[in-house]
Structure 1
Amino acid sequence: MAHYRASDSKREQFRRYLEKAGIADRLTGVLLALYEKQERPSNALEFVKENLGAADLSSADTEALQQEVIDLRQRCAGLVEENKALRARLQGYEPEPEDGAGAGAGAD
């Protein structure tokens, strides 16, 4: 019986959290709007997203952002390759370490 009360208490805390944040009212309003529609939308999830404000970006905006991500990933890959090439070139200019450089450091 204690387990039932503990989960009931957690539900009540979560319900109060949703009410305090205004989420419960917002969800209720969206679901009520869906219920009151004369013709049900073919995609109920899309309707909910639009009415919650989650679908603020148009598909053109989304496609543009996706293309930008692709372009930036390609640019990043190119810069990584350039970085590797420059590091390899730099290695050619750095002096070789001397064979006896570390000898005698702990001989005292």
Structure 2
Amino acid sequence: QAADSKREQFRRYLEKSGVLDTLTKGAATPENPEIELLRLELAEMKEKYEAIVEENKKLKTKLAQYEPPQEEKRAE
């Protein structure tokens, strides 16, 4: 029971000091607009990255048609 009493006192302290209100508002308010902008920028960068990786694969394939394999180069 002593633990329950202390827990209740602590809860009242948190309410009086405004901690619970702050936590509730923080959980309920929409996120910072800067965070959303960063998310959009990250998504854009991921798309660009994927496009570059795909282009790189295509260029490597194209280049392989004009260059001998690495093993043959070393033998020369």
TM-score range (shorter-chain normalised) is 0.5 to 0.7
2 CA distance for matches of 1:78 and 1:34? 52
Q: How many residues align?
A: 57
Which residue in 1 is equivalent to 2:41? Answer: 68
Which structure's residues are more often helix, by fraction? 2
Which structure has the higher relative contact order (CA within 8 Å, separation 6+)?
1
> Where does residue 18 of structure 1 map in the other structure?
none
Gaps of 5+ in 2: 1-12
RMSD: 3.3
Q: Percent identity?
A: 25
**What TM-score, normalized to structure 1?**
0.41
Q: TM-score, normalised by structure 2?
A: 0.55
Where structure 1 has 5 or more consecutive residues not aligned to the other structure, the ranges are 1-31, 48-57, 102-108
Poorly superposed stretches of 4+, deviation over 3 Å: 32-35, 42-45
Mapped to 2, the partners of 1:73 and 1:34 lie a distance apart of: 44
